[in-house]
Amino acid sequence: MHELSIACSIVELVAETAKGRKVHRVTIEIGSLSGVVPDSIAFWFPEAARGTEVAEASLEIREITALARCDACGAEFQTPSMLTVCPCGSFRFRWLKGEELNLKSIELEEVL
Amino acid sequence: MCANCGCGGDKTTMLDLQTGETTTIVTHQHEGSAEHGHAHDHDHGAHEGGGHHHHHHASHGQPGNDHFHSHHADRHSGVSVVDVQTRILAKNDATAARNRAWCMGREILALNFVSSPGGGKTTLLERTIRDLAGEMSLYVIEGDQATANDGERIRSAGASVVQVNTGTGCHLDAEMVARALSALKPAPGAVLFIENVGNLVCPALFDLGERAKVVIFSVTEGEDKPLKYPYMFRAATIVILNKIDLLPHLEFSLARAIANVRQVNSEAIILQTSSRTGEGTADWYDWLRAQLAAARQSAFT
């Protein structure tokens, strides 16, 4: 359910930047451990955008695979799920990537 | 659109149980009305090849391709690219930071209480208020989709409380807490409990400005709850295994439950309590006292 409110936040941020100009494309990035389902954002985005200047925009989602560094052995390893642990067996590690939930860029109609 | 959205929009209401006053909270305001949006649509359909928008998932299945710096705008077609580079929840995070600063400046300890529905958040708060009311000043922001039932319980227990009803919303956000703070006006040096909507999914994403997240994990739930809802358990500073008076009647392995918490969060403090018998609540109160002392030290550090 929170994907709808996140889609609303995207539309709100884009509309603020666009200041009334037509929006062609919105690019966001979603980390695999952000807690947000990309397909669900894609589903809700047009609903959130309906009736706004963002309504005609296409949405590009860039997914980022999570990467962690182990506190115990120092190795970097991919963490496809929250339950992945370091190959050395340690549960103690820091995520380097994967928690992103960012608005990257917006393509706007040029005002001449 | 946001009137129907997961964040509640203009369906969120707030009841001050001290004054009985109800207000509506609007957390989302879209700039650019529907009417204006449609007035321009037809002018631009031509160079989009039919005008129907579709949704790209450009980089599905390309995990290594994480960095994109090449935004080549179609300048000839009158399109410009704005690099925004901001967190999607930036607005919530900024409001949460303001709430946090407001509380820190007043040496207020703010805690975000989360659990499944029925995990025992309100009952633990009632007990805490009855046991500690003489020792510290306690305030509560109650979040539920509907009813002021929990707010009434907290008020009967003896704390000042504001009930936020999120309507369709599945979590509290920082703006709701900001509005509730301005109605509640907790005293300097107080403890503020923010009881979130019962839900282990959405509240994990929304910072409210709290000092710590307290996850209540009742032993009537499965031992694998931390594995099923890892985001919330990962975000917890403290996990309270609650309703332990029921353990003799259940096939619930405390050891397995604790190991599961550890798997997703190696650093969380884990306590065991029963709000009914009071068992283990002394540890919880000691933790609260230590956190409150820390909150009083940390205003400028």
pLDDT at B83: 92
The percent of residues above 90 in pLDDT, for chain A, comes to 71
Residue B255 pLDDT more than 80?
yes
Q: If pLDDT is split at 50, 70 and 90, which confidence band does B52 have? A: very low
Could A63 and B58 be called an inter-chain contact, meaning their C-beta atoms sit closer than 8 Å?
no
Chain B neighbors of A59, CB-CB under 8 A: 55-56
Task: Report the pLDDT value the prediction gives residue A91, as an integer from 0 to 100.
Answer: 84
Question: Do residue A36 and residue B66 have CB atoms under 8 angstroms apart?
Answer: no
Domain extent listing, chain A? 2-108
**Chain B contact set for A51 (CB, 8 A):** 1, 33-34, 37-38
Give the per-residue pLDDT at B169: 85
Residues of A in contact with B226 (CB under 8 A): none
pLDDT at B100: 97
Residues in chain B with CB shorter than 8 Å from the CB of A18 are: 32
**Per-residue confidence (pLDDT) for residue A50, from 0 to 100:** 93
Considering only CB atoms, which chain A residues are within 8 Å of B86? 13, 102-103
ipTM over 0.90: no
Domains of chain B with bracketed CATH: 104-295 (3.40.50.300)
* Alpha-carbon separation of residue B95 from B92, B100, B238 (angstroms): 5, 9, 24
Q: Which of A74-83, B5-14, B280-289 has the lowest mean pLDDT?
A: B5-14
Domain A2-108 belongs in CATH node 3.30.70.20: no
C-beta of residue B288 within 8 angstroms of C-beta of residue B191 = yes
- Can you give the pLDDT at residue A28? 97
The order of strands in the sheet holding B79-87 is: A58-64, A23-31, A101-109, B79-87
Residue B36 has a pLDDT of: 34
Q: How far is B147 from chain A (nearest CA, A)?
A: 21
Select from A3, A52, A50, A53 the least CA-distant residue to A28.
Answer: A3
Other CB atoms within 10 Å distance of the CB of residue A34: 22
B55 has pLDDT over 80: no
- Residue B39 vs residue A48, higher pLDDT: A48
Structure tokens at B171: 């979590």
Residue A40 pLDDT greater than 60, yes or no? yes
Q: What is the pLDDT of residue A80?
A: 81
Q: Do B262 and A91 touch (CB under 8 A)?
A: yes
pLDDT at B60: 37
Residues 28-87 of A with CB under 8 A from B: 28-29, 33, 35-36, 38, 42, 45-53, 55-65, 78, 81-83, 85
Please give the pLDDT value at position A83: 84
Residue A74 has which token pair?
């120092």
Rounded to whole angstroms, the Cα distance separating A16 from B35 reads 17
Q: Is the pLDDT of residue B192 over 80?
A: yes
Any idea which residue has 């067996």 for tokens? A89
Please give the average per-residue pLDDT across B101-109, as a whole number: 95
DSSP structure string for B241-264 = EE-GGGGGGS---HHHHHHHHHHH
Instruction: Work out the average pLDDT over A91-97.
Output: 89
Å between B106 CA and nearest CA of chain A: 30
pLDDT at B156: 96
DSSP B119-151: SSHHHHHHHHHHHHTTTS-EEEEEEESS-SHHH
Distance CA B41, CA B18 (A): 50
- Tell me which chain A residues have a C-beta less than 8 angstroms from the C-beta of B76: none
- Strands A23-31, A58-64: pairing is parallel
Contact: A61, B71; criterion CB under 8 Å: no
Confidence of residue A69 (pLDDT cuts 50, 70, 90): very high
Q: Which of A40-54, A66-80, B52-66, B88-102 has the lowest mean pLDDT?
A: B52-66
User: For chain B, what is the mean pLDDT?
Assistant: 83
A-contacting residues of B 211-250, CB under 8 Å? 227, 230-231, 234
B149 vs B65, more confident: B149
B interface test, pick of A4, A5, A53, A82 with most B CB neighbours within 10 Å: A5
Q: Which sign, positive or negative, has the C-alpha torsion B227, B233, B238, B243?
A: negative
Three-class HEC string of A41-90: HHHHHHHHHCCCCCCCCEEEEEEECCEEEECCCCCEEECCCCCCCCCCCC
pLDDT at B77: 61
Contact B53 A2 (CB under 8 A): no
- Partner-chain residue, chosen from B31, B51, B57, that has the shortest CB–CB distance to A16: B31
Residue B63, pLDDT > 50, answer no
* B93: contact with A, CB 8 A cutoff: no
What is the distance between the alpha carbons of residues B92 and A17, in angstroms, rounded to a whole number?
17
Nearest chain B Cα to A100, which residue? Answer: B87
pLDDT at B61 over 50: no
Task: Check the CA dihedral B125-B113-B217-B259 and report its sign.
Answer: negative
Give the pLDDT score at A79: 87
pLDDT class for B301, splitting at 50, 70, 90?
low
- Answer yes or no: are the C-beta atoms of B254 and B243 closer than 8 Å: no
Compare CB distances from A2 to B6, B80, B234 and report the shortest one's residue: B6
B20 or B237: whose pLDDT is higher? B237
Q: How far is B271 from chain A (nearest CA, A)?
A: 20
Least confident of A68-77, B42-51, B288-297: B42-51
What are the tens digits of pLDDT across the range B136-146?
A: 999 999 999 99
In this prediction, residue A81 carries a pLDDT of: 84
